[in-house]
Chain A
Amino acid sequence: MLEAQGLSFSIAGFSLLREIDLRVEPGKVTAIIGPNGAGKTSLLRLLTGEQRPTVGNIALSGQPLGGWSPTLLARVMAVLPQSSRLDFPFTAREVVMMGRIPHATGLVRDTAIVDAALAAVDGSYLDKRFYTHMSGGEKQRVQLARVLAQIWEPVADHARVLILDEPTSSFDLAHQQLTITNMRSFAAQGVGVLVVIHDLNMAARCADQLLVLSCGRIAACGSPQQVLTATTIKQVFNVDVSIGINPLTGTPLVIA
């Protein structure tokens, strides 16, 4: 379990995050929503150990994040940044194979995992294609396959964590659905999934727990039903909406 307590973060006197408490539970999908500039990506940077909080502490499986060896941490925590630039003509397979760099599982096992990860994002046909020749959505799928391959199987009973920053921003409808399926199936294996997402209805459908960030603070936290109310959305996004129920999934449906 990834747990953060009392996180505050400021850069050059600017306070970006204040008093954040957060638990990414194994087997659950936690989604962070909030307006632009609310501090979502900053929060992910702290949680992945890329930056240190000004105040507060973060622990993975009870051990402070800073106490993990980089390789061991990479074996159990995979992070998909918002956008990745790669200007070199690697094939999709080579990019996904990079997800196996922290592991020492051998080429045969790694190849099987890469095949499975590519298939999971509907990217098997991209296998030998060059990354530099792909469309935006295809690139994003290959990167997603790379982070899935990184934590494809458990390592010595350590809890695994999958962190995705807007994974569906350039996906079509089918691949958005597929990404939800992937997040749910990783969660079903006991992986703690944390995702930043802009589409409130997608967040409602994929998440067990929603965290609303506004101006660097937690504005609301709880199940989608608890959080996605007209009042909260008015308060945070300053938009009038009405809330219905998604007839297919039974989750809240935000109608703007």
Chain B
Amino acid sequence: MPKRVLLGLLLACGLAAPVLEPALAQEPKTGGVINAVIQPEPPGLMLAMIQNGPTQMVSGNIFEGLLRYSPKLEPLPELAESWTVSEDAKTYTFKLRKGVTWHDGKPFTAADVLFSMEMLKQTHARARTNLAQVDKVEAPDDTTVVFTLKQPFGPFLGIFEVGSMPIVPKHLYEGTDWKTNPYNNAPVGTGPFMFKEWQKGSFIRLVKNPNYYEKGKPYIDEIYWQIIPDAAARSVAYETGKVDVLPGGSVENFDVPRLSKLKDTCVTGAGWEFFSPLSWLWLNNRQGPLADKRVRQAVMYAIDRDFAKDVIWNGLGKVATGPSASTIKYYTDDVKKYPYDPAKAKALLKEAGYKGEKIRLLPLAYGETWQRWGEAVKQNLQDVGMNIETIATDVAGGNQKIGDWDYDIAFTYLYQYGDPALGVGRNYISSNIAKGQVFNNVEGYSNPEIDKLFADGAVATPDSKRKEIYEKAQKILVEDVPVAWMLELQFPTITRCKVKNLITTGIGVNDGFKDAWLDK
């Protein structure tokens, strides 16, 4: 029997965050214009080549992937209307939707999918990694694509999200120089919205795709993505009615409570389940006091993470227990706990023989919230007797220092992509220690047992075996503290309540305008 959708159940534990009122009883209304904030202005919109957050947010509504993901990260049909998995879990067959056309009218076929795989392998670092287990991709006919894997790969059905694997038009890109292709500036996709114009520094305008394959959708006529560089001005733009949608992270946290109280305003933390951003402190395991496990554990005990959540993040998010966010598959909280305990931190430091050596702290230059957090953590660590010096940098400078391993403690947050094999292991396995790059194992943690567990976990079957492996890995990591996990972040999306059904999937606003409608 083919194991269908069931196998794709990517989530062990559902997120309790409320989804925007599904408004099932109400009949969607057609028409209207939505103004949304996009922050910062994206460097480009060609999703296959640029994967910045704002690019994904705009272009996720222009391009499409083979699959979409529910808030529980179960795969849903998108360009692929159904799929089957062979008994040995090595062959995945996708049936493509019929009658789909590109925005320029050309039909979409399996050849586009094959071409996209080739292109993404060269232009999209994460897609390249995700496709590493793929032996070959074939298209027996125009509406069928068959992926054959080298070995079973548990999270395979989790890699087809639009930002991870956008399908691009072969007829416009084949044989051209991708970097200079004119369609990079006016992207052509299959999605519910078509690119119309981009006034640099002002707005990006998308219009409804009238030939969209799901009849009646999209309901909205136009989307204006407003570009407003100053955080305070973005809040004001919402208050004055210039914009109706503030996607997560586009206003400062301390403005959220004030904006939430405004009339006809709806707030939700949903729509980030696929990314599950987890923040932590990189601890340089190679040198200095932090090379000692006891000092790293002391860091965990010394930092008041509930304070960070309640005060700095205004109560949003959740204190992290370990390397996996609680929304990630195989998450377990049955690990060593590190409550706020300065006395214990002091004792551990004493035991480790720490004598006031200077420790450099790199905050994250992402705005006020992160700056305040850096100050609070510094104070926490100083309170237990650590000698902390804050190094001020900009984003690029900070990335360079971290990539060159020229730091002791550094703030970061990373996406987890639903499965430990996709978004967790990369930060802890020793084969991912590569100087000069930022988001790999920059802490320099090296443990053969962890290497083996993550290697086994990616390809183990069945699910229960994977669960066992990853739970063991989490226990070991939390004991060793290669990095100091802080919070599972939550980026609330603020909208006028008349904007309905915007957030229905695990990537929220990124592909949400397909189902959104305006209650006028």
A and B are interacting partners = no
Q: Residues of A with Cβ closer than 8 Å to B?
A: none
Q: Residues of B with Cβ closer than 8 Å to A?
A: none
